[in-house]
Every structure is written in C-alpha cells, then in structure tokens.
Structure 1
Amino acid sequence: MTNADLSITQIENTYLIRCGHANWVLVEEGSELTLIDGGYPHNGADVERSIEQIGRRLEDVRAVLVTHAHVDHIGGIANILTRHQVPVLMDPLEVAHAKREYLHQLSPVKVPLLLWRRGAPRWLFDVIRAGALDGAELPQAQGFTDGAALDVPGRIVPVPTHGHTDGHSAYLIPNAGVIASGDALVTGHATSSLAGPQFLVCPFNHDRAATDTALDNISAAPADVLLPGHGPVYRGPMTTAVEQARAGRTSMRP
C-alpha cells in the first residue's frame, strides 16, 4: 500500500479513484463491481481500500477491464489477483502486451527526455516508490469481442483507442454517460504544465499519430463525463475535450 490519500468522485454508478500518480475506476451494478485498471504494483491494497470506501468488498469484483498494460495500470491488478481471481479482459491486441510477450513502455533510455520538465524528478521518485521498477504482468489476460457490450457489471462497451499502446481501449459506461479514457486522453500529469484534456507528453506514447487519430472515437462517444487515467474528472462534451487536447498537442514533443 502507498501512503497517498484516496480521492473518490462518484458519477451515477461509476467512481473515479485517484491515488498518488495513478487512477482507476469502479463500476457498480447491484452489489457487483467491475474494476477498470489498478495503478502501480504497490497500489493493490489501495484498490481494495477504495472498494471498501464505497461500501463493497474485494469479493464483489466480478471482472477486471484493462485500458492498456503499462505498469501504472496493471500493477495493482496483478497484486489483488493473488487474493481474488476474476476474469481480466482487454482489447485482443493488448493481450500479448499484458502477458509480457513484448513491452511498449517508457524505457530507461528515454527517461532523460522527461527530466527537464518541471515535476518530472519528483514524479520519477514517487513512481519508483510505488513499484514502477518492479514490473507486472497478467498471464490471465483475455481478449474481448470488439464493439459489443461486455457481460460484466455495468454492461461496459469498449471504445478502441489504439496508439498509446497498440491495443489501448477506452470504456463507455452507458448508464452513467461516462467514458474511462485510460491514457488516450488525460486531464493532467506531473510531467505536464497543462491543465484539462490533453495528450500525455511525447515519450509516453508508442505511436503519436495513432494516439491523435484515436481521439475521434472518444469524440463520438455518447458521454459527457471523462474519467482519465491521469488527472481529475472532466465534465463537458467529448468534442470539446478532444479539441482542447489537439490544440495543446505541442506538449507531446520532447
């Protein structure tokens, strides 16, 4: 468990949890939950704590969805799966990444591209303490069928947003009018000077052009609340969020 406080924002049946430099999402249906992402390896106990704070138990989680297999999104999942086994679903293109057959992740050689940014040295110190160097993998990873509502609590619909990684997926929670965007579209990050909808800075995106194109699917989503992989909740039209991110896209450059 990290020492970071939990910040929980509820929108209908959906919760955005912010903990240090990581976000995850919980979706309720009756007494059952779907967990979307799970923070760094040392966030496993924090994920369980967030579940308890909304009045549920870890055993109420019936499925886990993964936006993408970076360590700050799957580390806590790998941790809690040692205590509670559930299906772990993601875009079929992301399965091999989650199983660590390959790795699309910021490498040590690219870290110097970030260190000139205000906030980056502290961010690096914090995420190492959260287990960023420990690594994580999900051998249980399974691919879902594109375009169909998933048979999980919340009847969540995948939204393809390939680019940040080859199999990145956002998730639409239809009853709440919410989209969980992972790292395809964020609203803040310790390495960025911007506030509001934005791309992650350049070294974090595997394919920058595809990351930009992927925002068309978010723009078209029937949602008016964005729950990002980093940063606070955004409320407003997705078209406006995407326009703002593209207007500030120069922040992606090293």
Structure 2
Amino acid sequence: MSRTAHYRLVPVSDRVHLVDGGSVNWVLVSEGDSLTLIDGGYPGHADAVEASIREIGRRPEDVAAVLVTHAHVDHIGSLDRFAARYGTPVHTGTTEADHAHRDFLEQATPRDVASNAWRPRVLPWALHIVRAGALGEHRLDAATPFPAEGALDLPGRPVPVAAPGHTSGHTCYHLPELGVLVSGDALVTGHPLTSFDGPQPLVSMFHHDRARMTRSWESLAPLEADTLLPGHGPVWRGSPREAVEQARANSSRVW
C-alpha cells in the first residue's frame, strides 16, 4: 500500500498491546527492548504492523520472533514482507507451517463468500478485504515449526496451545506470567459479519471443521488468565472458562 492502513493501538498492560487493524488483530508483547509479534493482518497491513511497533517505542528489528496462530491470509498477509525485510524468525506448529507453505489450503473460498452474499454485512466486508489485499495466493515460506516444546524463550514466555478446527493446525498462545490468552480465531469477541460483541465463534464458512474447533475450547477453558486477546473483536476481561461458556451460549446467534 502507498499509505499506512488504519489501525488502533489498544494497551492491555505495560507489556502487552492489542492492535486493531479494522477487521483483524495482531498482538505485541514486550520485554526490555525485545518484542514478540503474534500474527500480522492482511497484506495491506504491512505498513501498519511496522507503524504499530514504532508507536510503542520499538523498531521492527526488535522483534525476536513472529508467532502465527494460523495461516489464513488475514493473519499472515503482511508477514512475508516483514520476515524478508528484517530476517525475523516465524514460528507456528508443524501442521500450520505446512499450511503456511500452501502444501494445502483450508480457507474460505470466493465461492463460499458468494454463496453467502445475500446475508447482511457480507458484501461490505468482502469489499473491505479485497481492498486489504485478500485476493490471490498468499504463502509464508518463512514459517517453521516451534523450536522447542513448552514455553518459548521469547518475550512473554508464550506457551503454544493446540486448538485445531478453525484450521487443522491452529494454535493459541498462553502467556501465564502476564495473565493473557491470545486465542486467534479459535475464540473471538466480534467480527464484521456478526452484530454483537462478546466471546463467540466465527461464522461457519471460515472454519475447516467447526465441531472440532468447539471441542478445542475444552483445552482453553482450564488455562489461568484474566484477559482474552482474540484474532477478531475487542479485548475481553475474564477467565478462559468464562469466555468458553459465553461462546457456547452465543453459538446459536452465529450462522
């Protein structure tokens, strides 16, 4: 893009920021002069990702690693440029690394969107994502599997938590020292295609296996945290168990 896409920096604590890119989020976790970046928005967010890092007083070169929740275009779209420009390692689970390389693709297709175009909110959202660079093939060859099991030696000491269903290799990130769960698209708190905020699933066309995704909530519920940072929607304060309970109650409101 020739200009920086709109974004809004949302302080969560002195070390954690959610960045609202308008229709998708990414997360910055700091420790001293170093950062962990979790996800990276659409291709059109490439400049915004870098601008958000500078807004908190850091440089893109300060990112120790990028973590990917899943390899949909709205979460990895800017990261190919970022990794190439700064030589930053990019990590995700083994299955999702293959997804990022496009050995397979589990993503809503233009046909899926067209078949739901009659629904309220779909066409304005579709126009927005086209402008954000959603069309075309977007891969992330820099993605590699996590270098170790358990807590990663990165700012925030993130612990990968497998939460398959939205994609086969979807991963959430638990930051127990900071009381934060980064839930990606396994559990969100809003989306342009729904009319309410609060813990909820995404609409069905986005999930590779929605039933498996909701079963994955059982892996999230016991985690100790008091803040949920989703891939879509606002920051939510409360425990993962409370978020899962509300998401189950709200499931019938989401097509």
Using structure 1 for the length normalisation, give the TM-score.
Answer: 0.95
Partner SS, residue 77 of structure 2: helix
Give distance in 1, aligned partners of 2:175 and 2:158: 5
Give distance in 2, aligned partners of 1:114 and 1:185: 22
Q: Does 1:67 align with 2:81?
A: no
Deviation by residue 1:2-49 (Cα, 9 ceiling, x = unmatched): 542323223241110001112000111111001000000111110000
Give distance in 2, aligned partners of 1:142 and 1:75: 16
Give distance in 2, aligned partners of 1:120 and 1:197: 20
Letter matched to residue 87 of structure 2: Q
The answer on whether the counterparts of 1:29 and 1:154 sit within 8 Å (CA) in structure 2 is yes
Quote the offset at 1:159 in angstroms. 1.0
Deviation by residue 1:26-77 (Cα, 9 ceiling, x = unmatched): 1111110010000001111100000000010001001000000000000011
The aligned counterpart of 1:35 is 37
Letter matched to residue 85 of structure 1: G
Query: Where does 1:199-214 land on structure 2 (aligned, <5 Å)?
Result: 199-214=201-216
Identify the match of residue 45 of structure 1 among 30, 44, 47: 47
Deviation by residue 1:109-156 (Cα, 9 ceiling, x = unmatched): 111343233222111101100000043211121112675001222211
Query: Where does 1:196-235 land on structure 2 (aligned, <5 Å)?
Result: 196-235=198-237
Give distance in 1, aligned partners of 2:49 and 2:168: 26
Using structure 2 for the length normalisation, give the TM-score.
Answer: 0.95
Q: Taking structure 1 as reference, are residues 208 and 146 closer, same or farther at Cα in structure 2, changes over 3 Å only? A: farther
Letter matched to residue 172 of structure 2: A
The answer on whether the counterparts of 2:9 and 2:17 sit within 8 Å (CA) in structure 1 is no
Q: Taking structure 1 as reference, are residues 218 and 59 closer, same or farther at Cα in structure 2, changes over 3 Å only? A: same
Gaps of 5+ in 1: none
Note the aligned Cα RMSD (angstroms): 1.5
Give distance in 1, aligned partners of 2:37 and 2:244: 25
The aligned counterpart of 2:139 is 137
Q: Taking structure 1 as reference, are residues 96 and 5 closer, same or farther at Cα in structure 2, changes over 3 Å only? A: closer
Give distance in 2, aligned partners of 1:5 and 1:160: 28
Give distance in 2, aligned partners of 1:5 and 1:62: 22
Letter matched to residue 180 of structure 2: V
Quote the offset at 1:223 in angstroms. 0.6
Letter matched to residue 107 of structure 1: T
The aligned counterpart of 1:150 is 152
The answer on whether the counterparts of 2:151 and 2:159 sit within 8 Å (CA) in structure 1 is yes
Letter matched to residue 58 of structure 1: P
Letter matched to residue 231 of structure 2: G
Q: Taking structure 1 as reference, are residues 106 and 17 closer, same or farther at Cα in structure 2, changes over 3 Å only? A: same
Give distance in 2, aligned partners of 1:38 and 1:215: 23
